[in-house]
Structure 1
Amino acid sequence: MRLSVTLGTGAFFSAAFVISVAIAYSAVGVIEGWTTKTIDQAHEAAGLSWVAQEASGLNVTLSGIAPSEAARFQAMRLAATIVSGERLVDNMVLAAAPKIAMAEFSLVVLSNANGVSLIGLIPGQTERDFLIEAVSQHAGTMPVTDLLDLANQPAPEGWQTAQEFAVAVLDVIPQAFISLTPDVLKIRAITANDATKRKLETQLNSLQLQKRDLQHEVVLELITPRPVISSFRLRLTQDAKGAHMSVCSAETAQDAESIRSAAQAAGATLPTTCQIGLGSPSPFWSQAVVVAIKAVMQLKETTLEINDHNVALTGSLRTNTDLFDQITTDLEAELPKGFFVTAQRPEPVANPTVKKPAQFIATRSPEGLVQLRGQVAGDLAYRTVTSYAQAQFGAASVNMAAQSAAHLGELWSIRVLTALDTLALLDKGIVRVTETGFTLSGTTGQADRKEQIDSLLRRSLGPEATFAIDVTYIEPAAPAPTLPSPQTCIASIAK
């Protein structure tokens, strides 16, 4: 009996011990899990996802690669707000510091009439002393401005030789911009003309050959200013031998190439070069020339001359009249704003037995320039139409290219004057008058112009007259607001 009690008591205490140990291990796991999870959440919220946490009992070990000492301290500080700092073990390491990049050396020597400036980063005081002394000898009495910075690093290979070459260049080109890097030596300067440019290029090439140990790539940029052209011109002639462009002007080499390409595509022989210079009458000069060349190449034995804004077409007796007039009208519409067309063609000797159908054409450009072509009834009618057009549009704006035809009567003069009246109601447009027809087309900034023109034609030509009107209304741009005068502003302030 006594043995049974002893065994029962031992079994009870053994079971209690096992249960206690199990509960203790479970409690440790719960505490460790909660601790690591809470610290991990705090680190994630602070953007410290690189930190790893490991709990061992009541202690917490922090590990990971910290990008900086500040980040490492922040990770420890956040963890210390959750558990006691005495329970934290710091196994974090700092990331390797980036290698310090080698300095990129550069030198700029800027020489002009006011002196020489040295700018850049060079390797050491020795190089600086050499540059100051060498450039001062070249500058003479002119000041030398030292804006150099020094780096305590070895000079790149060939740097000393390149510096010596840069200083020697100043003896050839006193005013220049010289840029030196570890690989390239650039020389920029402005020359007076092409002859001077070729001479300097020869001298610099000779100097480079003397520096046999020069390892840098030498880039030479010598610029010759473009001359000023007083009058931009182009002349293209077509005759029985073909087309030939004898005169050509352009503002840039690109513009010259586009002009030459247009003439060459049209089959014209070209001059050796186009004169390139400043003073273009319009930013659209080359565009206007190309349009005019394409237009004139559709005609036979016609000369194209462009002088600044004036585009002149001169036909011959072999030039088709109808096609000549059509090309002229189309060209006026296609040219850029600011250019105007004058067209002339000699009229053949009239055959008394054959009467050519009469026509009169009047055109008005957006700039207000008016050209009159075709026939008018005799010399008196010629003077009358000229005076009437000059009164309507201004004497300087009218180009009278019409011919007198004595066989045309008074009714023809009425139709011609009516054409001028209708053209005056348009901002730009064209009127074509024949003995049996009357056509008008163009644009206007007033909405009721079309009705006015219709009424005018019916009164002048009769209710049974045949005519065609194609007038487009273009709403004018709103006027700029009128600002008060300075006197008005002063008076307002005084009040």
Structure 2
Amino acid sequence: MRLSSLLIVSFTFLAAAGLSLVAARFAVTGMENSTEIAVRQTLDETGHDWAEVTADGLRVVLNGTAPDEANRFTAISVVGGTVDASRIIDEMEVTPTADLAPPRFSVEILRNESGISIIGLIPTGTGRAAIVEQLARVVGEDRVADLLETARYDAPEGWVAAMDYAIKSLKRLPRAKISVVVGQVSITAITNSAKEKLALEKELNRSAPPGLRLALDIAAPRPVITPFALRYHIDQNGGRFDDCSAESDASRDRILAAAQKAELAAPATCVIGMGVPSPNWSRAAELSIASLAQLGAGSVRITNADITLVATVETSPELFDQVIGELENALPQVFALHAVLPEPEAETETEIGGPPEFTATLSPEGQVQLRGRLTDETLRHLTNSFAKARFGSDNVYGATRVVDGLPANWPVRVLAGLESLSQLRRGSLIVTPDHVALRGMSHQENATAEISKLLSAKLGEAESYGLDISYEPPPEPEDKPMEPEQCETQLASIQQLGKIAFEPGSATVAAGSRGTMDAIAVILEQCGEVRLEIQGHTDSQGREGMNQNLSQARAQSVLNELRARRVVTSSFAAKGYGESTPIADNGTEEGREQNRRITFHLIRPEQSPEPESTLDGAAREDTASDSASDPTSETSGETAPDTEAPTDQEIPVQ
């Protein structure tokens, strides 16, 4: 009986304990659920739906990946407004921050008489001190303004080569601006003459490393004309210029308009340059030409500020006095007029009869014949020696005679005429006591002006001479290199007949392609100094990295084959593009065949972006860079599957 009472009490106690545990569990679960719901609602309302919530008793565990550290901190803060912050367990992660993109490296170098200034952003490891030291060796110590900034990044590919080329080129450029970006150099410079400009452009192109984009803007200023001269002649055939200088386009147009009114017989132009003696040059020229037209015939020569007007013997003295008087009063200040009205001379004959005359003819082959009359043996010996020195000892044939009674200035007229004849490719010279006539052809556009200056200086401003000199462009040299675009076209034509093939799975040029390589080498020898990029391309079979390496090796192999054929390849570059630039569908065998190829691209200059900063340093140049377009045309031809696995398939040479 006693035992039964104990059992009942024990059972009752255990039952109460169990009910308490169940009730407590339901209470905890309800609290966790309500907490999760409240926290989830708060996170959703504040835009943090990326966060996950787990309630574990009194603890609130936050999981998930925050976009950034700020969002993670905000999520903890908003949850802390719903539950006690001490109950929050932060197990959230933050999205890894992507590496910062490297900045755009660029440099601008300016050089003039004051020194060199360099400004821009360069990679830290490229040796800022070494760059400044190299520039100091060009212009001397304490003449380099260093405004460079550095960034802790590795130098991108092509940066070092571009900077080295820019600094080396600066040694040849006393007045220049050079802009450098990765793989590109833009040079703006000033030279003293058109000839120097062409030579500098050729030298800069030749020394540029392969693959470098080069943009050149070399300017040649107007030439300095000394003396500033003009000579206009009117005869029975109309008017013509023997020489014409002008300081501007407007001045030239005014002078030519005056000549049109004065019976200009053939189209003419004036050399524009610096050195004009007066801002009223064109006005003086207009008045002088108009006065000559009033006289009807003769010549007018303006040398700097001296004007010499020579009329003909037939000119009426009354008309001559009237025209010269009006011209003297109308001329601007500074200009001095010397007018000449020749007097009729009595006809004289030498002891051998006929008018005194000396002639010289120059054939296109360079043969010279000297005929006519000279004053004495000394002059004959001097004339022959002078002609042989000018035209060559074996090219002169002398048939002159010594007579008496020639004018005192006869030797000067003969030698000046021969010196003028030597500037022609073919022509004839006639010297008489009152006139020197020169006719012929020259390959120099300004030959008439140069010869006119020579005769004026040798004979005197008042002496009469006539020039009838035509211009013909010099013939093209037989070994002139073909144009780069024509070279590219020829390479394309060759590869249409036979593609460059390789041994399967390798970079070795197949034996069947040797004929194609020989033909390409012959074309490149005719191309001269052309900048080419030999590009290797593959299909998409195989791994991308493997195809990239294979295309580079094949492009280099073609370059080596050209070097073995003694082709000058200093301006060539080899580069592999892998499978990145297909020209056909890689899903078909025909398409893959077209994609496996070698291409030859002209390396053309492209515009280099302007630097983002300006320079207030020691040197400045107000110049700008031109740009040229990127390469757009290509020639193709490569075969052999782009896989390293051996294959027995033979790829035909097309």
Above 0.5 in TM-score?
no
Instruction: Give the TM-score of the pair, scaled to structure 2.
Output: 0.30
Q: Which has the higher contact order (CA 8 A, sep 6+)?
A: 2
